[in-house]
Copies of this chain bind each other. A is one copy, B any other.
Amino acid sequence: MKKFAAALSGAEIQAVCGGEFRGGEQLRITSVADPAEAAADSVVFWEQDRCLQVIRGSRAGLVICPAEKADLLPGRSLLLHPRPGFAMLKLVSWWLESSAKKLTPGIHPTAVIAPGAEIGTDVHIGAFCVLGPNCRIGAGAVIEAQSAIGPQTTVGKNTWLYPRVTLYPGCVVGEACIIHSGAVLGADGFGFALEDGVQQKIPQVGNVVIGDRVEIGANSTVDRGTLGSTIVGDGTKIDNLVQIGHNCRIGRHCILCAQVGLAGSTILGDYVYMAGKSGSAGHLSIGDRAMVGAQGGVTHDLPADGLYWGTPAIDARVYKRILALQRKLPQIYGHYRQQAKKEEL
The interface of chain A, by Cβ under 8 A from chain B, is 1-2, 32-34, 37, 85-86, 89, 92-93, 96, 108, 110, 112, 126-128, 130, 144-146, 148, 162-164, 166, 168, 178, 180-182, 184, 187-188, 190, 192-195, 197-203, 205-206, 213, 215, 217-219, 221, 223, 227-228, 235-237, 239-241, 243, 245, 247, 253, 255, 257-259, 261, 263, 276-277, 279, 281, 294-295, 297, 299, 311-312, 318, 321-323, 325-333, 335-336, 339-340
Check if B190 sits within 8 Å of A258, measured CB to CB: yes
| Sampled A-B contacts (7; CB under 8 Å) | A96-B203, A126-B130, A145-B148, A166-B218, A178-B201, A182-B219, A223-B240
Check if A312 sits within 8 Å of B322, measured CB to CB: no
A165 to chain B, nearest CB (A): 9
Which 5 A-B pairs have CB atoms at the shortest separation, nearest pair first? Answer: A148-B163, A2-B205, A184-B218, A325-B329, A187-B218
Check if A127 sits within 8 Å of B112, measured CB to CB: yes
Check if A190 sits within 8 Å of B332, measured CB to CB: no
- In the assembly, what is the distance between CA of A74 and CA of B32, in Å? 69
Closest chain B residue to A279 by CB distance? B277
Check if A181 sits within 8 Å of B187, measured CB to CB: yes
Check if A188 sits within 8 Å of B184, measured CB to CB: no
- Find chain B residues with CB under 8 A from A331 CB: 336
If A164-B166, A259-B261 touch, whether A206 touches B2 (CB-CB below 8 Å) is yes
Check if B197 sits within 8 Å of A239, measured CB to CB: no
- Find chain B residues with CB under 8 A from A311 CB: 294-295
- In the assembly, what is the distance between CA of A172 and CA of B326, in Å? 45
- Find chain B residues with CB under 8 A from A330 CB: 321-322, 325
- In the assembly, what is the distance between CA of A201 and CA of B332, in Å? 47
Check if A261 sits within 8 Å of B279, measured CB to CB: no
If A227-B34, A228-B37 touch, whether A193 touches B85 (CB-CB below 8 Å) is yes
- Find chain B residues with CB under 8 A from A199 CB: 235-237, 253, 255
Check if A333 sits within 8 Å of B328, measured CB to CB: yes
